[in-house]
Structures are given as structure tokens and as C-alpha cells.
Structure 1
Amino acid sequence: MKSLPIQQCNLVLPGSNYEQTYRNKSMTMTRLKISKTLLAVMLTSAVATGSAYAENNAQTTNESAGQKVDSSMNKVGNFMDDSAITAKVKAALVDHDNIKSTDISVKTDQKVVTLSGFVESQAQAEEAVKVAKGVEGVTSVSDKLHVRDAKEGSVKGYAGDTATTSEIKAKLLADDIVPSRKVKVETTDGVVQLSGTVDSQAQSDRAESIAKAVDGVKSVKNDLKTK
């Protein structure tokens, strides 16, 4: 008789050390699979969150940039509108036969026109205001016009104008804010005209304030330009 081959069998006996080792290996592999799955989910979530944040941040940046551009465009548009209104008002005053427009200063800020300087009578002042209000785009008119005193003598007036001009120039020269060499001062019948170019609106306002504070000055026509 032939002997049958004996096959080796690995039997795991209940309660043996082999059974415990087998179970430990199975649990370890299961935990590894779960850990890998959780890691994959966390990575996917992190990528999605980062993408959403980047998209929102980019959108916020674009909106902020757009708002800044719109604001700048509005400021430029308002400046152009005011300049155009000022030019139209000056032209309308020049065309009016009963108004001496050379003694009237015109300024426009946000479509509000300010008239300053001197006129020969109250009737002329009222007429100048009426003309300015009739210009397209003007929302209101601030009347700072003064009626000229006809009793002042021409010789006395000239001497006073010269003294006024000299005093204003001296005060501008002593001021730390205003570049006096860039400011031209002229005085006619007590009306001071400032012209030239300064570096800022603050310098322009300061020069006007200094001129107005001098004795004998009736009004100031601030024609200073800013860079």
C-alpha cells in the first residue's frame, strides 16, 4: 500500500496565543484602513475649504478695488463739473452789460456757486446772483458780494491799495506755510487779488486768510491754482 502525503495545516486553537495574535493583527489592519479613510476625508475637506477661502478673498479684493476706482472717478467727475460750471458762470457775467464782472470772483464746490468781490450797487449784486442761478448745473448760489463805496477818493484809494499790497506781501513772506514767492498780490479799491500756483489747497486757503486779516481789505479774490 502507498502512504498518503501528509499536508501541513495551521490550526488556530481557541484560547491559544496564536488566536490572540491573529485577532490583534486583524484589529490593527482594520484601524489602519479606518485611519486612511479619515485622513482622505480630512484632506479633501481642507482643500475644499482653502479653495472657497481663496475665492472669497479674491472676490473681496476685486470688490474693494472696484469701489476705489468708482470713488476716484466720482471725484474727478465732480471736479470737472465744478470747473465747467465756474467757467459758464464767468462767461454769463461777462456777457451781462450791467455787471462789472472783473471785480467778481466765482468759485464752485459740488455745484454750489459762491460769488465774492465788489459791485457798484445792490441791484448789480442781485442781478449777478440771478445770472449765476440761471446757469445749467448750478444748485444754489452763495452771495458774498459787497457794494463798493463810491465816496472814496481815487488818490486816497490808490495810496491805500499800495500800502495794503505791501502789508500782505510782508505777512505772506513771514508765514511758514505759504510759498510767498509763488503768490502775486494786487489790490484795487481795497479788493485784493491773489494769483499764481501753490502746492496745496491748504496753502491757498492760508494765503487768502492772511490777506483778509489785513486792515483796509474789503474782499479777496483768490485765483490761486494748486498743482
Structure 2
Amino acid sequence: MNKTKITQTLMAVMVGSALLSGSALAATESTSSSLGNKIDSSANKVSSFMGDSSVTAKVKAALVDDNAIKSTDISVATEKGVVTLSGFVTSQSQAEAAVAVAQKVEGVKSVSDKLHVRDSKSSSLKGYAGDAATTSEIKAKLLADDIVPSRNIKVETTDGVVQLSGTVTTKAQSDRAESIAKAIEGVKSVKNDLTVKS
């Protein structure tokens, strides 16, 4: 009778150990799976960022290679395969050509055209110097502001027309950046092409 109790006790201990081992293994697999998912998610974010950087570089190269497009005043940004072209061009046909070139680049899902046609009058050297000074002053004011994330905002000025592009996290930041630019002497108008991204 004593042997039977010992055998039952040993069996209970073995079954209990097996159950504990099984649940520990399941917990380890669950943790491992969770960790694997986190690593995959991080890798996807890095891959997406690297892919966007690569697309941006390819689009810039394609614009430079196209002799019909004056690309020095065109900015290129890519997010999740969506390319945004901003800046100034000399004509509407230049803007259309730039969009067409960008659309042909491998990895581009779509193109957002935020290009502006520069006034047809020729820009003088004095005008260019004034625009450069205006751009610098706006950048300095944005940098000194507590609300606006200035590192995410690109400022371009042509003939007193200021274009703001890039991303901000709130509408208030977009409005604040625009009001700072409008307050600068010599600014005729502000084209606010900032994207609000939460």
C-alpha cells in the first residue's frame, strides 16, 4: 500500500513538472514571438526610411540629369513612397516635366506637386540677395521660436514670395510658422505648403 502511494506521488510530481515545463515553454515562445515582432517592426521602419531616402536620391538625380528642367530650386522629400516636389520653377511646363520625371523613378508610388511658377520677370542680383536675406531672417526667427520645429521646415524665397515646406505636428505650428514669415520685412506673400503630421 505504501508503494502505491509513493508511486502516485511520484506520478503527480512528474505530471506537475511536465505541466510547469510546458507552460514555461509556452511563455518563452510567446515572449520570443513578441520580441521577434518588435524586431520585425523596427526593421520595417528602418527599411521604409532607407527606401524613402533612396527614392529621394534617385528622384534628385533624375531631375539633375534632365537638361530641360532647372532643378536647383526644386526640393524633394519622400515618405512611404510618396514624393513631394516643392520650390520654384520658371514655367508650368517645367513643373509638369519635373512631376513626370519623378513619376518614372522606381519606388515612387505617387507625386505631390507643390511647385510654384516664378514670376516671369527676370530676377536681378539685388533681388536674389534680398531673397537670400529674407530666407535667412525667417530661418533665424523660426529657430528662435519655442513653438515651431524649425529643423523640419524648409524656407525658400523668390521675388519676395516665401514658400514654407516640410512637416509639423500641429496646425498651430503651421500657422505660427506662416505668421512669422509674413511679419518679415520684404515678404510679399507666403505659400504655406507645410504638412501637418500627427
TM-score range for the pair, normalised by the shorter chain length: 0.7 to 0.9
Query: Counterpart of 2:10 in 1: which secondary structure?
Result: helix
| Shift in Å, 1:71 | 1.5
Aligned pair count? 185
Residue equivalent to 1:217: 190
Change (3 A) 1:157 1:94: closer
| Shift in Å, 1:186 | 6.7
**1:165–1:187 contact (8 Å) kept in structure 2:** no
Residue equivalent to 2:186: none
Match 1:141 to one of 111, 115, 139: 111
Q: Please say if 1:175 is aligned against 2:146.
A: yes
| Aligned residue type for 2:190 | V
Q: C-alpha distance in 2, partners of 1:187/1:211?
A: 14
Structure 1: unaligned runs, 5 residues or longer: 1-29, 195-200, 222-227
Q: C-alpha distance in 1, partners of 2:72/2:176?
A: 22
Structure 1 residues 91-110: aligned runs within 5 Å: 91-110=61-80
Question: Structure 2 length as normaliser, TM-score?
Answer: 0.73
Structure 2: unaligned runs, 5 residues or longer: 183-188
**1:115–1:143 contact (8 Å) kept in structure 2:** yes
| Aligned residue type for 1:44 | M
**1:211–1:217 contact (8 Å) kept in structure 2:** no
| Shift in Å, 1:124 | 0.8
Change (3 A) 1:81 1:141: same
**1:165–1:186 contact (8 Å) kept in structure 2:** no
Question: Structure 1 length as normaliser, TM-score?
Answer: 0.65
| Shift in Å, 1:52 | 0.6
Q: Which has the larger radius of gyration?
A: 1
Match 2:14 to one of 39, 44, 50: 44
Change (3 A) 1:97 1:148: same
Q: C-alpha distance in 2, partners of 1:163/1:178?
A: 19
Query: Counterpart of 2:93 in 1: which secondary structure?
Result: helix
| Shift in Å, 1:54 | 1.2
| Shift in Å, 1:177 | 6.0
> What is the aligned-residue identity percentage?
46
| Shift in Å, 1:172 | 2.9
Query: Counterpart of 2:190 in 1: which secondary structure?
Result: coil
CA RMSD across the alignment = 3.8
| Shift in Å, 1:220 | 7.2
Change (3 A) 1:93 1:210: farther
